[in-house]
Structure 1
């Protein structure tokens, strides 16, 4: 099963960003050699926008942001393929996310994903 591991950082509270980066390099290399990681990326903090549609048929509204109340920002992700949720949690625990950071584990809904791609029918 695939899991999206969302990394939240508080860069203002990060005492050693170089060590955190090196931790990602090491972890990615290990996961890549094991064939576990499918994708990974660091996300930029500048130029973020949100698109919202209000009501059915409503025109989308684009705003700057998100402007969250929290100090943690979505900084990156790993998409991994694991046998169990516990394996995904073990990988998430190894992700260097800095002081006060967090990793959110989200299972990928592969049935809907396959239907959107046209790979398989989906029934509700």
Structure 2
């Protein structure tokens, strides 16, 4: 089964990150490197990425059948999607076991969502 693990940050956590030196940032990334290596070795990691700042977001909505593009996130919320893991593991329980290993998990909200299998519709 595939699961999308969504990691949310907020402006305060982004400011802390931006205030770190390059050496401190590199040191904090070792936890992510170790987790990525372990998940790749177990065959559970499909892909993982950190996302750019929400201010760089473009949102596309359709009005009268035509796309309209706006800057930034649509919703005024504290938490913004910061990164994700796409995992292929046997169960939701296993996906939930992985979450505490995410270095940012204690300081953010992490959502685990099953991927819907739509292959029967093709």
TM-score computed with the length of structure 1 as normaliser? 0.77
Unaligned runs of 5+ in 2: none
Indicate yes or no: 2:21 matched with 1:12. Answer: no
Structure (1 or 2) with the greater helix fraction: 2
CA contact (8 A) 2:4 2:84 kept: yes
2:79 corresponds in structure 1 to: 72
Q: Which residue of 1 aligns with 2:62?
A: 53
* Unaligned ranges ≥5, structure 1: 115-120
| 1:30 equivalent in structure 2 | 38
Shift of residue 2, structure 1, vs aligned partner:
0.0
How far apart are the structure 2 equivalents of 1:76 and 1:2?
A: 17
Moved more, 67-76 or 30-39: 67-76
CA-to-aligned-CA distance 1:45-91 (integer Å, 9 cap, x gap): 1421111123xx52121111105433332111110011111111111
TM-score, length basis structure 2: 0.78
SS in 2 for 1:104: strand
